[in-house]
Amino acid sequence: MEKPLVSVVLCTYNGGKFLAEQLESILRQTYKPLELIISDDASEDDTRQVLKLYEDHPAVHIFYQAKNIGLTSNFAFAAAQTKGALIAFSDQDDIWLENKIEQLAAAIGDSPLVYSNSLLVDEAGNSMQTKLSDLRNMYSGNDSRGYILFSCVWGHGMLITRKLLTQSLPMPEVVHHDIWIVFQAFLNGGIIYLDEVLTHYRQHSHSASKTLPEKKSERTKEYRYAIYQMKLSWIKLMQQNERKEFQPFYQRLLKLYEEKDQKKYVFPLLIFLLKYRKEIFQLSKKGITSQLVEILKQARGEKP
């Protein structure tokens, strides 16, 4: 039986330093048929020079934005160009193992989303002796409550169906596209974890996102309040879209979380989080003591 086409979506922006190595790892995939959709968001470094070397490759389709439109809009544009029944997302600076798509496509089954493990590597590509599974509980299922504070799915590690992509549109601006897609997968059948390292996930000073925790010195009062506002927006979005069975939980959580902006400490939120501790921390590696510390922190007021 003929295999379905897999589309790989790669959004670039000032990523010339590591881009060629990532492109080669994608084009070496054992899975066929495969297409690579690239949209460059008006890079100002040598990214476009690197991409021009691949313009004649039959599996590669490159688009150049005339001006910078931002990650979410650029991703939405690139995703709209895909033709595959299955869709994968690529960072511009990682390294894929050759059998990554082959294994994910074989594992997805009837699920809308499957994701795999990754090895953290440094700027030179050397192992940091840490896997994503060392940082999170890798979860299979459809309970989104653990997704409020923690994630176990990174965009670079997942493969989704075209149906899930359609269900994820339009994409809200308040969260990254991959976070939103994973949430939609929770709502539409659940996620599946494949316990295989299939990506070398590069960590460096110019990474678009941080995987390892920030230093305490970075956590100023203004920073904490900004994080609170983002988390509040996220909880509102989850509540607005969640299934009926979880509405009492999310409505109560939202009400209590809003009180953090009015009080020095929200004791009812503390009690609520203790009641649902197992569900909220199901994606976290924190022990009980660390969970209690986190709950105390979450119940603290966040006035600027």
Question: Is 303 contained in some domain?
Answer: no
Q: Per residue in 178-195, pLDDT tens?
A: 999 999 999 999 999 999
Q: What's the rounded mean pLDDT across residues 225-247? A: 96
Which residue pairs from 241-248 have beta carbons closer than 8 angstroms and sit at least 24 positions apart in sequence?
241/183, 241/187, 242/144, 242/187, 243/187, 246/144, 246/145
- The predicted pLDDT at position 215 comes to 53
Do 155 and 245 have their domain in common? no
Do 42 and 13 have their domain in common? yes
DSSP letters along 257-288, please? HHGGGT-SB-HHHHHHHHHTHHHHTTTB---H
> Whose CA is closest to 78, among 88, 153, 182?
88
Do 50 and 109 have their domain in common? yes
> Whose CA is closest to 86, among 179, 163, 28, 178?
163
Q: Among the three residues 168, 202, 236, which one is the final residue of a domain in this structure?
A: 202
Do 171 and 224 have their domain in common? no
Q: How many CB atoms lie within 10 A of CB 219?
A: 12
Burial of 287 (0-12, 13-18, 19+ CB in 10 A): exposed
Question: Is 208 contained in some domain?
Answer: no
Question: Is 62 contained in some domain?
Answer: yes
H-only helix segments in 53-191 = 71-80, 100-107, 132-135, 162-167, 177-187
If one counts the domains in the chain, the total is: 2
- The predicted pLDDT at position 304 comes to 67
- The predicted pLDDT at position 6 comes to 98
Do 129 and 259 have their domain in common? no
- The predicted pLDDT at position 210 comes to 46
Do 116 and 232 have their domain in common? no
CATH of the domain at 114: 3.90.550.10
- The predicted pLDDT at position 222 comes to 87
pLDDT at residue 147 greater than cutoff 60:
yes
Residue listed under structure tokens 């960072």: 91
> Whose CA is closest to 113, among 65, 155, 150?
155
Q: How confident is the model at residue 220 (pLDDT cuts 50, 70, 90)?
A: confident
- The predicted pLDDT at position 209 comes to 46
Do 11 and 124 have their domain in common? yes
Do 18 and 118 have their domain in common? yes
Segments forming the whole domain that contains residue 265: 216-298
100: left (phi over 0), alpha (psi -120 to 50) or beta: alpha
Rounded Cα distance, 8 and 34, in Å: 7
Q: Per residue in 53-74, pLDDT tens?
A: 999 999 999 999 999 999 989 9
| Percent of the residues in the chain that have a pLDDT greater than 90, as a whole number | 88
Do 87 and 187 have their domain in common? yes
Question: Is 209 contained in some domain?
Answer: no
Question: Is 157 contained in some domain?
Answer: yes
pLDDT at residue 206 greater than cutoff 70:
no
Residues 6+ positions from 41 with CB-CB distance below 8 Å: 11, 12, 13, 65, 68, 69, 70, 71, 74
Q: Per residue in 148-185, pLDDT tens?
A: 999 999 999 999 999 999 999 998 988 999 999 999 99
Which range has the worst mean pLDDT, 29-38, 44-53, 148-157, 198-207?
Answer: 198-207
Q: Which pair of tokens denotes residue 285?
A: 């590696």
pLDDT at residue 207 greater than cutoff 60:
no
Q: How many CB atoms lie within 10 A of CB 197?
A: 16
Do 16 and 109 have their domain in common? yes
Residues 6+ positions from 126 with CB-CB distance below 8 Å: none
Rounded Cα distance, 183 and 178, in Å: 9
Question: Is 207 contained in some domain?
Answer: no
pLDDT at residue 219 greater than cutoff 70:
no
Do 124 and 175 have their domain in common? yes
Question: Is 257 contained in some domain?
Answer: yes
Rounded Cα distance, 201 and 148, in Å: 23
Q: Per residue in 99-142, pLDDT tens?
A: 999 999 999 999 999 999 999 999 999 999 999 999 999 999 99
pLDDT at residue 37 greater than cutoff 60:
yes
Q: Per residue in 259-297, pLDDT tens?
A: 999 999 999 999 999 999 999 999 999 999 999 999 999
- The predicted pLDDT at position 173 comes to 84
| Helix, strand, coil percent content, the chain, rounded in steps of 5 | 45, 20, 35
Do 246 and 107 have their domain in common? no
